[in-house]
Amino acid sequence: GEGTRTETVWGTTHRRRTTCAMALRTCHQTKPIGCKRDGAYATARKTTCKAAEVAAHTKTFKEKTWSPIVYENGQKAHTLTQERFEVIQDLNGFAEEELLDLLKPVEQCWQPADFMPEPSGEGFEERVREMRERTAAIPDEYLVTFVGDMITEEALPTYMAMLNSLDGIRDETGASDTAWARWTRLWTAEENRHGDIMNKYMYLTGRVNMRAVESTIQRLIASGMDPKTENNPYLGFVYTSFQERATKVSHTNTAVDAKKYGDEVLSAMCRNIAADEARHEVGYGKIVEQLFMRDPDGAMLAFADMMRKQIVMPAHMMDDGEHEQNTGGRNLFADFSAIAEKTGTYTAWDYADIMEFLIKKWDVPSRKGLKPEAEEAQQYLCKLPDRIRKLAERSAGRKAKQPKKSVPFSWIYGRELQI
């Protein structure tokens, strides 16, 4: 059904036409770019010219007088206002001239084969035996943490889909020549090597149950993810800025631990993955910097919005199909996260450190001339890292007093770890 209502999104009040979710889903399925005007959906004409493609996209949106808010499972979707869509469009030149340069040509990228025994060469079996000897001393806690990170990396199709859900930057054709579309595809191509090499390495070590791992990957991709970014690139780029730094921290720590346990090759592999994540972090961070330059109120509100929701990890819907049953109802992702915290790979203190880093990077404390709601968001953000650290200390104190439980993990053939 249709009607109108007044709604506030990030401090801006708009009259909106509400349309049933089914009609909107049909709209999104049948148009690459479009809007509803006088009862008809307008579609930007297809073109091979990049400039014409961007111009058509912008023109179509500017004709729109309402935002197609959809409610799915109680959550808002498509919350980007027309004014902020135009801010995103204003970033096209930045994306073309500065963002894409952060990604490497294929010829300059490392490949998984660089770290693996050459299967067609002499001595392949011997090098595999050497690999198994190197990894024999790696403890189960490390394996569970590494495998959880690997499963997260392997769910890459979900993350590309998330980026392409963001209004104003999505790849409308699947092979669009816009800077945003190329960034998404090139970023995905670089990231694809991470899960690939981690998977192959674990397979050759013989230390993990690959069928259980592969089942978990398939289930995770099928489940998707729910980052609560509302199809809104302001929210989406805050999320990716945070997540890229989080993955860099995690892979850096697994590199340090691999070296400690005597596997220099595994350590080098993790360092190279972390270096990729660092470049990607720079890119997403620069996008948000540009949003703060052009729309400080909107960027501040978006940052605070994502922090209030809390940044969920990409693999939060992880499930192997048996962990809950084998542990009396325990959650696999929660138990993997507990092991990652126990090993110091990724902790609540890292979460607070990342937040503090982004607050300084985006110059949040010194922003002046903000509207009242954005000022409130600014104050909330500046106090949050210390608050999270205090909560982490209290949580750690409570956990220290609780009895440990033995929890089996299918990834390591049902061997138990203390949580």
Which among 10, 53, 180, 280 is annotated as catalytic?
Answer: 280
Strand boundaries in 241-281, DSSP class E: none
Catalytic member of 53, 154, 167, 191: 191
User: What is the rounded distance in angstroms from the CA atom of residue 12 to the CA atom of residue 16?
Assistant: 12
* 191 catalytic per annotation: yes
Are 196 and 150 in contact by the 8 Å Cβ rule? The answer is no
Question: Helix-strand-coil percent breakdown of the chain, rounded to 5?
Answer: 60, 10, 30
335 catalytic? Reply is no
Is residue 247 among the annotated active site residues?
Answer: yes
Whole-number Cα distances in Å, 261 to 133, 201, 267, 280: 11, 16, 9, 28
Q: Which of 53, 141, 149, 153 is catalytic?
A: 153
Taking CB atoms within 8 Å and a gap of at least 24, the contacts of 86-90 are: 86/58, 86/61, 86/62, 87/291, 87/294, 87/295, 87/298, 88/167, 88/168, 88/169, 88/233, 89/54, 89/57, 89/58, 89/61, 89/168, 90/294
Beta strand residue intervals within 68-197, DSSP E: 70-72, 75-77
Active-site pick, 257, 263, 277, 320: 277
Indicate if 277 belongs to the active site. yes
- Give the burial string for 242-269 (b: 16+ CB within 10 Å, else e): bbbbbbbbbbbbbbebbeebebeebbbb
Which is the catalytic residue, given 178, 187, 194, 229? Answer: 194
- Please, is 207 exposed, middle or buried when counting C-beta atoms within 10 Å of its C-beta (0-12, 13-18, 19+)? buried
Q: Which of 110, 140, 177, 214 is catalytic?
A: 110
Catalytic residue among 154, 172, 263, 276: 276
280 is catalytic: yes
Alpha carbons 244 and 65: distance in angstroms, whole number: 35
Report CA-CA distances (Å) from 257 to 146, 288, 350, 415.
10, 32, 17, 21
53, 149, 167, 244: the active-site residue: 244
Decide if 276 is catalytic.
yes
Our answer to whether residue 72 is catalytic in this structure is no
341 is catalytic: no
- Residue 244 among the catalytic residues: yes
Catalytic residue from among 247, 252, 343, 345: 247
Q: Which residues are catalytic?
A: 110, 153, 191, 194, 244, 247, 276-277, 280
